[in-house]
């Protein structure tokens, strides 16, 4: 497992793929037309300049909303043993990362999909498909896949894809009114900015295949599939270990 932890971290360190995906088909992200953007931009520069200034708690709420979208597109796998096992491996990997603690920790959900995929949402949310779990041949390989996703979260790759302009109105409200309760209009403005951030993020997830998994492995010639027909697939091994 040590070797794959290292491999996973190294693979993730070189991965920029998620930042280059097309998000043009995603909806949302409009700035409230009542906001004077020029004035706003000036004020914002004094306070928060971009994704790096999105707070820990906001990152968590963006991640929750992205995850809430994911879980309508994919059905969560109802297998407590397998989910617990994936959670355990992910937490073990996260402990060794640059960011062992997020706002509310790391959480994993196995998806009932034969796609070979794994992806991360900001703040600590990780998804891995049943298809991916059937493809990996060992705990080390699973650790490598999850380390890749942990690295995306630790490095805040998802937040980097959010256009700062989509957050401008939110930053302004926070700049002037952060100590007070929000008015309905402010909640509406924040929600619009939130939608922009979340939808941009959601678009990144659609093709979140880890770069360490070659396309041909599971979807082309099917070499991986033939191999695991002969060997017990990980889910069965995982259930044994998780018990």
Residues of this chain that interact with another protein (CB under 8 A) are 1-2, 5, 43, 46-48, 53-58, 61-62, 64-65, 67-69, 71-72, 76, 83-84, 87-88, 91-92, 95-96, 98-105, 107-109, 125, 139, 154, 170, 174-176, 178-179, 182, 187-188, 190-191, 193-195, 197-198
DSSP per-residue codes, 41-106:
HHHHHHH--SGGGS-HHHHHHHHHHHHHHHHHHSPBP--HHHHHHHHHHHHHHHHTSS-S--SS--
Query: Smallest distance from the beta carbon of 131 to another protein, in angstroms?
Result: 19
Across 82-201, the runs of DSSP E, i.e. the strands, are: 107-111, 118-121, 125-129
Residues near 159 by beta carbon (within 8 Å), at least 6 away in sequence:
51, 52, 54, 59, 62, 122, 201
Q: How far is the CB of 179 from another protein (least distance, A)?
A: 4
By the 8 A CB rule, do 147 and 9 touch?
A: yes
Least gap, CB of 211 to another protein (angstroms): 24
**Which C-beta is closer to another protein: that of 154 or that of 234?**
154
User: 128 near 145, Cβ under 8 Å?
Assistant: yes
Nearer to another protein, 11 or 192 (CB): 192
Q: How far is the CB of 188 from another protein (least distance, A)?
A: 7
Min CB(9)–another protein separation in Å: 13
Q: In angstroms, rounded to a whole number, what is the distance separating the alpha carbons of residues 62 and 226? A: 39
Q: Which is nearer to another protein, 94 or 116 (CB)?
A: 94
- Closest to another protein by CB, 191 vs 207, is 191
If the CB atoms of residues 86 and 213 are measured against another protein, the closer one turns out to be 86
């Amino acid at each position: 497992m040590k070797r794959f932890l290292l491999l996973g971290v190294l693979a993730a360190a070189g991965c920029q793929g998620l930042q280059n995906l097309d998000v043009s088909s995603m909806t949302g992200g409009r700035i409230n037309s009542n906001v004077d953007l020029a004035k706003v931009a000036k004020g914002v520069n004094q306070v928060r300049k971009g994704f790096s200034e999105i707070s820990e708690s906001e990152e968590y709420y963006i991640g929750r909303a992205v995850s809430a979208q994911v879980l309508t597109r994919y059905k969560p796998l109802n297998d407590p043993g397998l989910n617990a096992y994936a959670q355990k491996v992910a937490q073990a990997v996260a402990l060794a990362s640059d960011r062992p603690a997020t706002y509310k920790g790391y959480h994993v959900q196995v998806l009932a999909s034969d796609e070979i995929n794994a992806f991360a949402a900001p703040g600590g949310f990780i998804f891995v498909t049943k298809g991916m779990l059937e493809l990996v041949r060992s705990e080390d390989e699973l650790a490598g896949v999850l380390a890749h996703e942990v690295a995306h979260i630790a490095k805040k790759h998802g937040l980097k894809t959010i256009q700062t302009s989509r957050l401008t109105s939110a930053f302004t409200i926070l700049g002037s009114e952060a100590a007070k309760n929000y008015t309905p209009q402010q909640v509406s403005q924040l929600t619009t900015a939130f939608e922009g951030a979340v939808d941009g993020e959601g678009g990144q997830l659609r093709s979140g295949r880890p770069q360490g998994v070659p396309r041909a492995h599971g979807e082309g010639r099917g070499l991986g599939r033939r191999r695991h027909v002969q060997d017990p697939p990980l889910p069965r091994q995982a259930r044994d270990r998780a018990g």
